[in-house]
């Protein structure tokens, strides 16, 4: 187990903060501005790959739930691996080989899907680091795969011109394995900083609470800061994504230091960077808000992100994953983009480093659609209104369990290249489309229309700009149930 001088690390972090230009207070950090390159992002790939990929059961929370008596994962663990006192989480490490992991191959697949950026999880709640670290031996370079997984992904992503970020879920590790203390398991006794099982405290009843029981210790928060700053220095990510629980009031002083350190280091590199956060962990304007498995109901003047998964039931690979359909993911992507957001779509590789056929199909379908229609999203900005239609969007997180019943009367609008793009989220059965928001003289489009192009096939559509709206006639044979894009040339 590796040891390090915590005080020395904290002093070095403070030195970077003291040099500025950002100080560790909210007033100073409020000078932050979202970089222009981030405003152009529309679609990214999230990656959940780690120890949980070995059992491939239940979800990425298997490392926690295997220690929760009575849970599905607990019973599966007993039946498959035996008693927890003999086979615990650490025993999965030698089974994690990643023998078919190929960073270049992954990036080729992601690029073909149309993704512009990629964010792998650097450390999940279970505490196993997927990058080379000098702070703990429990990392993918020193154990298991014997590879700096995240470091290799960074090298490949940037070589291919993709924006590279990382995700840290470390803060939840404080309580994530605590259930193992409630019965005879391998999590017993006192553990020291650097051990995979440190500290294994019992968790809160309310995971979303900002205060109350299960207050992280000072040493753990200091270790969190040092680990996160190691990620910053070692990987130099353009985006630093945080999961929930950083909203705890006890962590506020450390969030200030983290943000100041990251923004100051970026200034030293001559770059601009982004922090993604949830649950109002940061004051608004200091970083970019993220909504998990959800969207916003209306267009916003600020940039935001939605992170979601290809599967309804899990973020990692499991043997019984239930996959979404590509056409529904595309509708969400378009809706999010029209409201000034970007989508981060998760993939969960198998333990050996390969993807499932279902994941490959989803990425391929998205990529083929974007290859034909991508200019409507990537070369544009949201229009003055985001769209129209009968289908309501429920605002907030964890809303993707129910597939939205979009229709051919649901439209989303974009502007760019001197044109307006109107996207029908479903094809019309008879090839007729009526956009009421673009009613002549009294709507949101009063300019003279030169022509309208059905983008997927690059052919002209018949149209009539009338008092009740813009009527477009175009029978489509190639879109199936996928969104239909019209480029309105003025």
b (16+ CB within 10 A) / e for 166-188: bbbbbbbbbbbbbbbeeeebbbe
Give the pLDDT of residue 479.
60
Instruction: Count CA atoms within 13 Å of residue 56 on its CB side.
Output: 17
Which tokens go with 211?
């205060």
Q: What is the pLDDT, as a whole number, of residue 477?
A: 66
6-292 and 381-489: same fold? no
Q: Is 335 helix (H, G, I), strand (E, B) or coil?
A: helix
Domain range list for the chain: 6-292, 381-489
Low-confidence ranges of the chain (pLDDT < 70): 477-479
The model's pLDDT over 226-270, given as tens digits with 9 standing for 90+, comes to 999 999 999 999 999 999 999 999 999 999 999 999 999 999 999
C-alpha to C-alpha distance for 129 and 246, rounded to whole angstroms? 18
What SS3 class is residue 295? strand
Report helix, strand or coil for 16: helix
Q: Do residues 181 and 198 touch, judged by C-beta distance below 8 A?
A: no
CA atoms of 460 and 359, how far apart (whole Å): 34
Buried b (16+ CB within 10 A) or exposed e, 457-484: eeeebebebeeebbebebebeebeebbb
DSSP state at residue 53: G
Return the CATH architecture of domain 381-489. Answer: Sandwich (2.60)
The predicted structure's pLDDT at residue 154:
98
For domain 6-292, is the CATH number 3.30.70.1090? no
Q: For the stretch 276-315, what's the b/e string if a residue is b when 16 or more beta carbons lie within 10 angstroms of its beta carbon?
A: bbbbebbeeebbbbbbbbbbbeebeeebbbbbbbbbeebb
Token pair 């907030």 in the structure block, residue: 396
Condensed to tens digits (0 to 9), the pLDDT of residues 103-118 reads 999 999 999 999 999 9
């Amino acid at each position: 187990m590796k040891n390090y001088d915590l005080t020395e690390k904290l002093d070095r972090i403070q030195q970077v903060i003291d040099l500025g230009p950002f100080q560790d207070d909210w007033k100073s950090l409020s000078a932050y501005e979202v970089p222009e390159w981030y405003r152009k992002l529309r679609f990214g790939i999230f990656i959940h790959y780690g120890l949980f990929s070995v059992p491939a059961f239940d979800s990425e929370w298997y490392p926690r739930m295997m220690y929760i008596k009575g849970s599905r994962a607990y019973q599966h663990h007993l039946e498959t691996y035996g008693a927890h006192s003999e086979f615990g989480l650490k025993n999965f490490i030698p089974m994690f080989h990643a023998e078919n992991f190929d960073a270049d191959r992954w990036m080729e697949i992601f690029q073909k899907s149309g993704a512009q950026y990629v964010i792998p999880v650097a450390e999940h709640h279970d505490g196993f680091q997927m990058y080379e670290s000098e702070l703990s031996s429990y990392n993918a370079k020193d154990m298991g795969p014997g590879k700096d997984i995240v470091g290799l992904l960074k090298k490949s992503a940037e070589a291919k011109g993709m924006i590279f970020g990382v995700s840290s879920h470390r803060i939840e590790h404080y309580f994530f394995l605590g259930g193992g203390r409630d019965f005879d398991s391998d999590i017993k006794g006192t553990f020291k900083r650097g051990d995979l099982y440190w500290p294994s405290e019992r968790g809160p009843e309310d995971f979303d609470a900002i205060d109350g029981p299960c207050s992280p210790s000072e040493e753990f928060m200091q270790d969190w800061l040092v680990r996160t700053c190691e990620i910053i220095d070692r990987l130099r990510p353009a985006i630093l994504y945080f999961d929930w629980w950083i909203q705890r009031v006890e962590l506020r002083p450390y969030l200030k230091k983290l943000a100041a350190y990251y923004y100051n280091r970026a200034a030293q590199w001559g770059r601009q960077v982004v922090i993604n956060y949830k649950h109002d962990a940061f004051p608004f304007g200091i970083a970019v808000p993220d909504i998990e498995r959800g969207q916003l109901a209306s267009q916003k003047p600020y940039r935001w992100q939605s992170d979601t998964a290809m599967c309804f039931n899990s973020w990692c690979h499991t043997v019984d994953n239930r996959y979404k359909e590509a056409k529904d993911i595309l509708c969400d992507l378009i809706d999010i983009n029209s409201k000034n957001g970007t989508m981060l779509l998760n993939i969960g590789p198998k333990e050996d480093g390969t993807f499932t056929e279902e994941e490959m199909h989803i990425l391929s379908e998205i990529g083929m659609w974007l290859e034909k229609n991508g200019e409507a999203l990537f070369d544009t900005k949201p229009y003055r209104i985001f769209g129209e239609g009968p289908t309501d969007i429920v605002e907030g997180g964890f809303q993707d369990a129910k597939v939205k019943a979009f229709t051919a009367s649901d439209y989303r609008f974009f502007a760019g290249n001197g044109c307006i793009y109107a996207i029908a989220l479903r094809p019309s059965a008879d090839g007729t489309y009526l956009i009421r928001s673009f009613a002549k003289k009294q709507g949101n489009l009063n300019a003279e229309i030169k022509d309208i192009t059905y983008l997927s096939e690059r052919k002209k559509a018949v149209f009539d700009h009338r008092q009740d709206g813009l009527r477009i006639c175009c029978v489509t044979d190639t879109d199936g149930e996928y969104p239909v894009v019209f480029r309105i040339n003025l």
